[in-house]
């Protein structure tokens, strides 16, 4: 004969375990409120994949979440879960606003040297990419006007330290000739 289950004691233990993990009562019961993740998904943030990053790029470009997911070849639900659990974007009415604050490793030229730096967020990484592209085009064309937008500008790393962009033409040519690394080989999202 089977032992009778004590459902009230099981329920109390479930609530106590949830409280110890920092969950709300609704999450511990197994029925989270709207916007709260389930207890089983608290520590299971979806891993970043190239497809999800492509979909995020499409979302940042202004596409709807559904169309961004389709363009990248991922499920709409998987992409929505990735965006929400990693807090990469917020929905404002019918549109999504991307707040991708993950640090990134980038390559830049500063103070006569080439450096790999970790920057705080996407806008800083985007600025580093624009500079690297302009420096590369300058090396190919020798058009000094390409460097003018970066004169006096600097890249701020994750520690808040400023690294001024190298704008001396001779130094850029010297660094480009000695460069062993490409920007795309260094660029990495740090999770």
DSSP-derived secondary structure for 5-72: P-HHHHHHHHHHHHHHTT--HHHHHT-PPTTPPPGGGTT-PPPP-HHHHHHHHHHHTT--HHHHHHHH
pLDDT, mean of residues 11-22: 88
Whether residue 44 is predicted with pLDDT greater than 70 in this model: the reply is no
**124 contacts 105 by C-beta, under 8 angstroms:** no
The tens digit of pLDDT for each residue in 50-64 reads 899 899 989 988 899
Provide the pLDDT confidence category of residue 70 given band limits of 50, 70 and 90. Answer: very high
**163 contacts 155 by C-beta, under 8 angstroms:** yes
The tens digit of pLDDT for each residue in 160-182 reads 899 999 889 999 888 888 877 77
Of the candidates 95, 61, 96, the one whose C-alpha atom is nearest the C-alpha of residue 82 is 96
Alpha carbons 69 and 58: distance in angstroms, whole number: 8
Res 190: pLDDT: 66
Res 72: pLDDT: 92
Domain coordinates in residue numbering, the chain: 50-98, 104-189
Provide the pLDDT confidence category of residue 95 given band limits of 50, 70 and 90. Answer: confident
Give the 3-state DSSP-derived string for 54-82, with helices as H, strands as E and coil as C: HHHHHHHCCCCHHHHHHHHCCCHHHHHHH
Give the other-Cβ count within 10 Å of 75's Cβ.
13
State percent of the chain over pLDDT 70. 92
């Amino acid at each position: 004969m089977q032992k009778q289950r004590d459902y009230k004691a099981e329920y109390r233990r479930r609530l106590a375990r949830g409280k110890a993990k920092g969950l709300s009562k609704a999450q511990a019961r197994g029925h989270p409120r709207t916007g709260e993740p389930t207890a089983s998904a608290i520590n299971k943030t979806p891993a970043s994949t190239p497809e999800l990053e492509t979909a995020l790029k499409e979302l940042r470009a202004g596409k709807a979440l559904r169309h961004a997911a389709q363009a990248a070849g991922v499920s709409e639900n998987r992409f929505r879960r990735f965006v929400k659990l990693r807090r990469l974007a917020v929905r404002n009415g019918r549109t999504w606003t991307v707040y991708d604050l993950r640090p990134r490793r980038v390559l830049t030229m500063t103070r006569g040297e080439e450096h790999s730096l970790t920057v705080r967020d996407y806008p800083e990484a985007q600025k580093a990419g624009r500079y690297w592209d302009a420096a590369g085009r300058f090396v190919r064309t020798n058009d000094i006007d390409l460097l003018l937008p970066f004169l006096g500008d600097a890249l701020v790393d994750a520690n808040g330290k400023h690294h001024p962009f190298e704008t001396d033409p001779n130094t850029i040519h010297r660094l480009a000739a000695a460069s062993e690394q490409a920007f795309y080989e260094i660029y990495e999202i740090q999770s």
